[in-house]
Structure 1
C-alpha cells in the first residue's frame, strides 16, 4: 500500500488511469460473473473525476468484491476499481481522526494507526475489505454500544455524476452524507472519508454458554452498558438454534497471551480451513464443533490487543475450491424484543429447506442515526448466517425460496435484511424493509438524473422496478 499525508502530492495531473476492456467481474462467492465493457483502475482524484464526467454510463464502483450479489457491477458498465486509490491523506493522533482514500483496506489503515496506540472505532469482523466498500454498505461489527459504521464517520467527499466533487457531513450536504453511506454506489463515488478513532487496549476473552431464552436479558443486563466490554457476539448452534455461547472481549490490564499487535499477514489457516470442512461436510460435524472444537478453542485463556482482534483475515474462511459448492452470507435484523420469535421461525425455515448452516452469529447494534437505507431503524439484534450452497442453478432457485421466507419473517417483526448479499428479495420486500427507499431514489434522480451509477442492486430495485 502507498501511504501519504496531506503534505504529499498525488500522481501527476493528467495521468491516464489503467483501463482494461471487456473483463468479467465476480465476487468472492464466484456466483455472479458479470461482463463489463471496461475496468478503470485510478490512482488520482483527477482521473476519477474525468472518467465520471466524460463517461455517458453506466458506471459501477468496486472495492474488495466481498459483496455477494453483483453490487459492484452491471453488464456493459465502466467499472471503477478503487483498490489503487488507497492513501492516507491526513491523520491527527491528538484528535483521534484519520482521513483516507476509500480503496485502502482496513488492515492497511490499522498498520498506519497501530504505532500510535489507536484503533478503528467501528468495522466489520474482517480487515481485508476496503473502507469505501464498508461505507457503501454501512457495515457494522461486534462493537458494544455502537451501531452502523456511519456513526464513526466525520465527513466524506463524493464525486457526483457530472464530475462535481462535494463534501458531505451531518452538518453540510447531510442528504448526500446519509444517502451515500449505505447507498451502494448509487449516488456517486466516495473518494475520501474522515473517520473517528478509538484507543487500542488489551482485551480479555471470556465466554458463557446458555439457552437462547436467557440471552436477551443477559445481554441487556450484563453486556450492553458495561464500559469494559468492547467486543461481543454469540454463536447460536444449528440445527435447533436453542443453545449458544456468548463471547466477550473486555478491557483488561492482564499480561498479553498473544504477543502480536496485529494479525500476521502471512499466517497459515490450515487448521481453521480444516475445521470449516469438518463442520460443513462431515456427518456430525456441527455437533463436533459445538461439543469439542469451540470448547477447546475458547477454554484457552487469551489476552490480546484490540487491533489484533480487529485485524482478522478472511482467508481463514476460504475453502479449497468454490467450483461445485461455495460459502455465502446473509444477515437479518430484528428489534431486540423479537429475537426469540424470529429465531424460532428462522430455525424452522432452515430445517425445512435443509440449509447447510455453518455458523449463525448474533450481534447487537444501536439504531441508525439517519441513513436513507437504514437497516437498523431501532436497536436491533443482527443474525449473521453463514451457509454452504451448491453452485448449480437448481440450488440457487431453492436458496431464493427460503431467503424470501426469512425476509418476510424479519419484516413482519419490524426488522430488515442486509443488502450486500445475493439479490433474492422482491422489490416489494425491499420497499417494506427499507421504507425510506423512495427518498433515496428521489435523491438519486436529482443528483444522477441519467442513472449513470448502476449495479445489479439498483438494476433490481431502482426506479424502473418500483411498483412491480
Structure 2
C-alpha cells in the first residue's frame, strides 16, 4: 500500500511502482507502458493529499532517482535540474558550487517541510510566503516533457506556451516533466519584524509591510475555538532586506522537541500553545536570516504517533487553503471561525499569506491577488471523523466562494461539483484539454478519475 506522507488518508494498492535511476530509463519505462497500453501516474515526494500521485492498482513512476543538477548559468541565474530533485539537495548544491559567486538561490518554496520534489512543486503550482509573489510557475523558465507515447518536447512561455500552461498546475496529467529550468534570485539578508495584530487590521498591516520594503511574511492566528481570539488575534512576522549578514544576529530558534511539544499542545491546550508560540516569536523580533534559510522547515515525520497514543485514536492533520479578495479577509476569517465551531472542527495550525495573480497557467488557482488562508484540521481516521472533516472543509469552501474566492485543489477530493465549478471556472475546459492532449488516457491518477467521473455524471 502507498499513502501520502501527511494525512495518511490515501491508502492505495501499489500495483506496479517503477523506479528509473536515470532520464533514459524513465523514457524507456514510459515507452514500455505505452506499448502495453498501461496508464501511468508520476510519484514525487508524496506530499499532496488529493491522490494526484496515486493510481489504484495501476502503474506509478517514482521520480526520486531523477535528482541531478544538469546545468547552471551564473550570468543569468538559471539552473536546470531533473524534476525528482528535492529542495534540500538543490540548496546544498547552490551553497557548495564554487561558480555561484553571485549567491544565486531560490525565490520561494513550500514552508513547513522541505522534502518536496521540484516536479511536484510545478504540478501543484505551489507558493511560499512571499508578500508579492506569483505562484511557482513564475519561477520556471522552461520544462522538458515526456508525453504518454514517450516523445520529448520543450515548453516555455514562448515555445509550446499552451502546453506549458497546462503542465504548470496540471497535476501530472499531461506527461512526465523530466527537467525544468528554474529562475533564481540573489540571496539577501532579511530582518524579521514581529508583532501581534488582529484580523480587522491585517490587510492594512500587510500593505504597510510591503510599502516598507518587506518581501516575505505571514500571520499565524489563534486556533483555540473556545477563545475570543479564535482566527482573529495572531502573530504578524514580516522580513525586510537589510545590509549585513545573518551571522551578525544571535539566533533564538525552535528545535525539534520544541515544535513537537507545541504541536501536542495544539491538540490538547490550543490557548497555551498560541501563548507560548507568540512569546517565542515576539522574542525573535530583529533577528536576521538568509532569504533562503528562512524558508527552511523542520521535518517532524511521525510526530503524530505520540499524539495518537495519548488521544486513544488514530488521526492526522489535513491541510486546506482558502483564497479570498484581500478586502474580504476579515469577514472570511469571522465566517470561517463560525463554521469551524459549528462543525466542532479541531484546527491545529493556521496562517494567512498573500499571493499575486497567476496569468501563466491554465488551471490557475491564483486568479486574483488573493489573501490565502491555510488551515490544518485534525481528522480522526474513522468513518465519523472523516465525514465530519468533509463537512467542515466544504463549509470553509462555501465561506470562500460566497466572498468571490476559491480553494486549493491539491489537498483533498471533498469539494462538491458545484464548489469545484464556482472556485475553478475553467475546470471543465481543463478536462477537455486533458482528453485532447492525451486521448488514450496514458497519464492518470485517482484524483483525475474522481473529477472526471464527477463531471461526466453531471
Contact kept? 1:372, 1:437, Cα under 8 Å: no
Q: TM-score, normalised by structure 1?
A: 0.88
Distance in 1 separating the partners of 2:95 and 2:248: 15
Q: Which residue of 2 aligns with 1:71?
A: 52
Q: Which residue of 2 aligns with 1:455?
A: 445
Q: TM-score, normalised by structure 2?
A: 0.90
Q: Which residue of 2 aligns with 1:138?
A: 125
Q: Which residue of 1 aligns with 2:172?
A: 185
Q: CA deviation at 1:298?
A: 3.0
- Cα gap change, 1:185 to 1:68, in 2 (>3 Å): same
Q: CA deviation at 1:122?
A: 2.2
Q: CA deviation at 1:124?
A: 1.3
Q: Which residue of 2 aligns with 1:367?
A: 357
Instruction: Pick the aligned partner of 1:31 from 3, 9, 13.
Output: 9
Q: CA deviation at 1:256?
A: 3.0
Structure 1 residues 237-248: aligned runs within 5 Å: 237-238=222-223, 239=225, 240-248=230-238
Instruction: Pick the aligned partner of 2:92 from 101, 111, 130.
Output: 111
Distance in 1 separating the partners of 2:350 and 2:2: 32
Give the SS at the match of 1:333: strand
Deviation by residue 1:85-135 (Cα, 9 ceiling, x = unmatched): 110011112111111111100111111112432221122113211101111
Distance in 2 separating the partners of 1:255 and 1:451: 52
Segments of 4+ in structure 1 off by > 4 A? Answer: 257-261
Please report the RMSD computed on the Cα atoms of aligned residues, expressed in angstroms.
Answer: 2.2
- Cα gap change, 1:140 to 1:258, in 2 (>3 Å): farther
Q: Does 1:298 align with 2:288?
A: no
- Cα gap change, 1:339 to 1:329, in 2 (>3 Å): same
Contact kept? 1:40, 1:79, Cα under 8 Å: yes
Distance in 1 separating the partners of 2:298 and 2:276: 24
Give the SS at the match of 1:35: coil
Structure 1 residues 242-261: aligned runs within 5 Å: 242-254=232-244, 256=246
Q: Which residue of 2 aligns with 1:121?
A: 107
Give the SS at the match of 2:351: strand
Extract unaligned runs of 5+ from structure 1: 1-22
- Cα gap change, 1:63 to 1:260, in 2 (>3 Å): farther
Q: Which moved more, 1:114-123 or 1:443-452?
A: 114-123
Q: CA deviation at 1:313?
A: 2.7
Contact kept? 1:114, 1:200, Cα under 8 Å: no
Q: CA deviation at 1:139?
A: 0.1
Extract unaligned runs of 5+ from structure 2: none
Instruction: Pick the aligned partner of 2:411 from 410, 421, 426.
Output: 421
Give the SS at the match of 1:398: helix
Query: How many residue pairs end up in the alignment?
Result: 437
